[in-house]
Structure formats: structure tokens, C-alpha cells
Amino acid sequence: MSYFSKIIGVGSFVPKNVYTNFDLEKMMDTTDEWIQQRTGIVERRWVDDHTSTSDLAYEASLKAIENSGIKKEDIDMIIFATLSPDHDFPGTGCFLQAKLNLPGITALDIRQQCSGFLYGLSIADKFIRSGSHKNVLLVGAEVHSKGLDKTPNGRNVSVLFGDGAGAVVVSRAEVNDPKKDSHIMTTQLFADGSLAKELWLPAPGFAFPKERINEAMIKEGLHYPQMNGKAVFVHATKRMTECLQTACKEASVELNDVDLFLFHQANLRINSKVAEDLGIPENKVFNTIQRYGNTTAATIPLGMDDAVKAGVLKKGMLVASAAFGSGFTWASAVWRF
């Protein structure tokens, strides 16, 4: 028997604390004009001192489950994508599972950074297609703000990131007409580890000779994200363009057939370049980076929920997504919403 999967519920949650570019001007050697010109970001949300990644994920998950129309107890798997876990171990999916009071079900963490949600969507789709699971809660959540260098030294990276969470419920679907019925049509996953150090967090790490972190590493700032911005921009625009074309070909659809594009929100210039290179009209690309910054694994589900609330994403629409991030990893997907 052949199984298919589809997204039946979407939810999101962001902290209430808004930090504008003008707020960042007081912390770093930067300006609102500089940030907007290079990234498109106007503001972002940062958590308070007592909020964790799983706290954000919990709120988004409750909303996704409510919107799905199924009972919480019907969830039989959690996939949690994050690069900012509550703790090094165990996985944050286990902390979320406890908060949701869903003991016994599968809980899986994945660490594919900005590509995390699409990697997770592919995993959820495969588990459901295998027949082993019926309702998967897929969450992307991040608390970046607690790990950023908010001094002038961190300007180039720290202005980019915000906190937030997005979640979807992926469930077994009955598909009679593959061209019309809601279902995940294809997911495409890629990586190139030879470029891992172009965007990474060096410390703490067990690859160091004696200590995973020490005072010298902290003084050097190795516990803050490091990024080669030019390399990321060049590879992101190239790989996102390629994998979108691959996904559309695999799904037997044309780019013109796609009703809405939900790209990862790392930089508005990257998304504009991808759209320009592929001839995608601006009104078909839904961006949220202006309001939230880069929330890494949360950007696509967060944007999906905003698009639904805005009436931009409606049932029956053909959707395509692409993401690129640390690893380097990149991914794409096409689905009927």
C-alpha cells in the first residue's frame, strides 16, 4: 500500500521583545541604514532571560496541533530542528516532549541549521510514507540572542539573527489526484562539508586537544558564530537556485506553476537574487526577514504561518521552498498545501 504525507496544521511563536536596528545602534558600531541595505532586516525578536528554545517550540507546537484538528495524543513522532538547544544533551526534542506530556513517542533532533526545517520535512515524509508513523510534529525553533556577540566585534553576524519558533503537523494523506490533492510531492537534500568552516561556531567543541572550551578560546571569541559573508552569499544564491529547479523537475511542475515560494530567511538580498535569476515575480515570494531577522530552522514554518494568517497562503496552492545554511547544507521541497 502506498502512503503519502501532507501538512495539516501550522503554528508559530515569537518573543514579545522587539529589538529594532536603532536599538542595535546603541550596542554595536552599526546603523539602521547599513543593516537594511545589506540584509533587509528592520527588527527582530529576542527572548527574555528565562525563556529557552523548547519554551518557544512548545507554544508553536500547541498552535500547530490546534490548527491541525487532531488531538495532541495522536502525535506519534517529534522532529526538532535547532542549532540552539536547551542543553548539549539530551536533545531538545525530549524537553519539548515532556512539556507536551507525550511520553513514549519518537523524539528526534536534527542539526542542519538553516536547512533544518526542510531536512525535517523530508524525514517526516519518509517516515510516514514507510507506514511506521501517522502524525509527525515537526518544529524549527531558535534562541540566537543568548549566543551573540552584542559588541562592535560581532556586528557583521549579530545583526542578522532573531529568536522564534515555527511548527507543522505532517500527517498521512489520501491522494487520489496527485496534481490536485494536498501532499508533499518531493524533498531534495544536499550538503558539502568541505565548506563547513565558512559558517560555524568553533567552541565549545570536543575536537580540541584537551578542553572543549577554555579562557583562551573565550578571549578569542571562538564561542561566537564565525561567518564568511561573501562565500555564504555566493553559494546560497547558486545552490538555492539549483535545488529549486531540481525539486520542480522531480515533481513534474514548472516554476510558473508554483503559487507561492517560501524561502529560508537569511538575507533579503539572497532571496531577491534567487527570484531574479529564476524569473520569479516578487509577489510570489513571501518574506518575513524584515520583521524577525534570521531565525534559522524556524524561518520557513514561521513564514508559512504568517502567510496563512495574511491570506496569502490558501488551501490547494502549490508551494516551493529552498534553504541554504551552515554545513554547507541546502534543501528544497515542493508540496500542495
- The residues assigned a catalytic role are 114, 264, 294
Tell me the Cα Rg of the chain. Answer: 19
Which of 50, 41, 47 has the alpha carbon at shortest distance from 17? 47
Diameter of the chain by CA atoms? 61
End-to-end CA distance of the chain: 23
* Strand partners of residue 77: 106, 136
The number of residues in the chain equals: 337
**111, three cell numbers:** 542539526
The residues with which 335 forms a beta bridge, in sequence order, are 184, 319
337 with 316: CB under 8 angstroms? yes
Residue closest to 11 by CA, chosen among 259, 285, 303: 303
| CB hemisphere CA count around 136 (13 angstroms) | 30
Strand pairing category for 135-142 and 77-81: parallel
Supply φ then ψ for residue 223, to 5 degrees: -90, 10
Cα–Cα separations (whole angstroms), residue 83 to 37, 176, 234, 272: 27, 38, 23, 25
Q: 330: number of CA atoms within 13 Å, CB side?
A: 21
